[in-house]
């Protein structure tokens, strides 16, 4: 060494110098030795290697060229370095981040630790420089990965929530904020349980059920279910929730995706309404002719060997006079009331429809002729005894019924209807308010 401390202390002896040299060179960090007058008095070989220099002397001589003129906070490097060294002499230890550079200007982010060392009758400060380039590169990569993840999450067109292993909400995406019309992600996280009604449609408390579904996801790895959510103003948001357990080195997190079903629910409701309109008679509210024929064909195809199908054709007697006397509005009201009476009298397995005008058709699955006789008579009697009140008028009507029983498995639905319609014609011809059974001369034995 060609410099000595200028503090008036004893000079460093040769054997002391050798021991210090060994210690400095053994340290795997850039090391610099400062005296009480803030003079650089030594360094180790690692310092020479870190900055790509030719010798220790070059390091000592050009030390302040190994830092930019100013640190990132704007402070002059030379002044800040002196202040930190004085602080180390006063307090014994200082640690801080610093930007060094090579002589060509290549930055070297570093962590500096200054340690006051008692030596002879005074003190020295040893400065250790930890190269943070690799760490900073990793942090930058992690930050970049985090930014990429954030971009991915915010680009997902689904509301996203992240839960930790303790079921604490730790993150969300921008879509979650937008869906519920909130001011920030933090508001979403803080007010999460206000974004569901107190109870779900099945009657379960939302908070209790949410914890249960998160627990199930931990066990199964993935759960999907429907859930009712809401805005802070109470507007309902029917949703489909998908929870996924995401395993990581130190445990797992749970990712929750919310799919807004409002548009789908509206579309399904509209389609159901359109289907109802397509299959329902507008006046009576029961099935129309088309819907009846489609269902009846399916019943006929699925019929078991021990069961029989019958068709009843039902027509209101003298209904033209009702329309002529009271008008079509009253007539439609009576048609609707008669349809309800027939529907109420039938069993759940039977099916009635308006066939056209004042005519109704019924398909009945039964196991004996007596069953269809009793059912047809009950319908006739219910209508015969009913009094229909329309605009303070008491109106009575009767019906005629024609019945055709399927006696041959090859009998078509159209053929069966034709036979029942002929039997209805016979009931009308024989005085009305009665039941007639079709006779099919192609088959022997009683009908």
The 3-state secondary structure of 20-81 reads HHHHHHHCCCEEEEECCCCCEEEECHHHHHHCCCCCHHHHHHCHHHHCCCECCCCCEHHHHH
How many helices (H) and strands (E) would you count in the chain? 14, 17
Q: What does the alpha-carbon distance between residue 447 and residue 438 come to, in Å, rounded to a whole number?
A: 7
Residue 135, number of CB atoms within 10 A of its CB: 12
pLDDT at 46 (0 to 100): 93
Pairing of strands 399-405, 435-437: parallel
76 Cβ contact partners less than 8 Å away, ≥ 6 residues apart: 69, 70
Residues 116/123, Cβ–Cβ less than 8 Å: yes
State the pLDDT at residue 443.
38
| pLDDT at residue 383 in the model | 94
pLDDT attached to residue 130: 93
Query: How crowded is residue 155: how many other Cβ atoms within 10 Å of its Cβ?
Result: 10
Question: Residue 102 corresponds to which tokens in the numbers above?
Answer: 């090579």
- pLDDT tens, position by position, for the chain (447 residues)? 444 444 444 454 456 666 667 777 778 899 999 999 999 999 999 999 999 999 999 999 999 999 999 999 999 999 999 999 999 999 999 999 999 999 999 999 999 999 999 887 889 999 999 999 998 888 887 677 666 766 666 777 789 999 999 999 999 999 999 999 999 999 999 999 999 999 999 999 999 999 999 999 999 999 999 999 999 999 999 999 999 998 987 899 999 999 999 888 888 778 777 777 778 898 999 999 988 998 888 888 777 666 788 999 999 999 999 988 888 889 999 999 999 999 999 988 889 999 999 999 999 988 788 989 999 999 999 999 999 887 777 899 999 999 999 877 777 889 899 999 999 999 999 999 999 999 865 333 333
If one counts every other C-beta atom within 10 angstroms of the C-beta of residue 40, the result is: 17
Q: Is 358 a catalytic residue?
A: yes
HSE-up of 281 (CA within 13 Å, CB side)?
24
Give the global pTM.
Answer: 0.48
Phi, psi of 142 (to 5 degrees): -65, -45
Q: Point out the catalytic residue in the list 46, 175, 223, 358.
A: 358
């Amino acid at each position: 060494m060609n410099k000595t401390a200028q503090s008036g202390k004893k000079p460093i002896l040769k054997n002391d110098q050798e021991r210090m040299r060994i210690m400095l060179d053994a340290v795997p960090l850039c090391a610099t030795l400062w005296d009480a007058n803030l003079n650089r008095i030594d360094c180790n070989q690692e310092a020479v290697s870190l900055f790509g220099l030719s010798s220790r002397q070059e390091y000592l001589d050009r030390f302040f060229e190994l830092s930019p003129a100013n640190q990132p906070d704007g402070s002059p490097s030379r002044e800040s370095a002196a202040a930190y060294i004085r602080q180390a002499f006063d307090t014994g230890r200082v640690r801080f981040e610093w930007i060094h550079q090579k002589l060509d200007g290549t930055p070297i982010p570093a962590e500096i630790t200054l340690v006051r060392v008692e030596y002879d009758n005074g003190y020295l400060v040893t400065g250790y420089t930890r190269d943070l380039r690799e760490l900073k590169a990793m942090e930058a990569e992690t930050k970049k990965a985090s930014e990429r993840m954030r971009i991915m999450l915010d680009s997902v067109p689904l509301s996203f929530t992240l839960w930790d292993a303790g079921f604490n909400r730790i993150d969300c995406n921008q879509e979650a904020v937008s869906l519920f019309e909130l001011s920030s992600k933090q508001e979403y996280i803080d007010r999460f349980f206000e974004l569901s009604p107190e109870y779900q449609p099945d009657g379960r408390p939302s908070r209790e059920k949410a914890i249960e579904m998160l627990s199930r996801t931990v066990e199964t790895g993935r759960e999907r279910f429907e859930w009712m959510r809401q805005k802070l103003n109470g507007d309902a948001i029917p949703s489909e929730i998908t929870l996924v357990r995401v395993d990581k080195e130190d445990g797992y997190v749970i990712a929750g995706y919310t799919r807004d079903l409002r548009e789908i629910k509206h579309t399904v409701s509209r389609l159901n309404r359109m289907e109802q309109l397509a299959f329902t008679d507008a006046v009576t509210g029961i099935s129309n002719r088309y819907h009846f024929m489609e269902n009846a064909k399916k019943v006929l195809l699925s019929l078991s060997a021990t069961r029989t199908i019958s068709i009843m054709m039902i027509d209101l007697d003298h209904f033209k006079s009702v329309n002529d006397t009271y008008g079509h509005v009253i007539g439609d009201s009576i048609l609707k009331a008669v349809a309800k009476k027939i529907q109420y009298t039938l069993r759940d397995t039977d099916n009635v429809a308006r066939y056209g005008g004042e005519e109704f058709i019924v398909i009945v699955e039964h196991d004996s002729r007596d069953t269809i006789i009793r059912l047809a008579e009950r319908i006739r009697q219910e209508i015969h005894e009913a009094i229909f009140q329309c605009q303070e008028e008491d109106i009575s009507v009767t019906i005629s019924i024609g019945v055709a029983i399927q006696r041959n498995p090859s009998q078509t639905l159209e053929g069966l209807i034709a036979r029942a319609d002929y039997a209805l014609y016979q009931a009308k011809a024989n005085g009305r308010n009665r039941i007639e059974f079709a006779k099919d001369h192609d088959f022997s034995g009683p009908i």
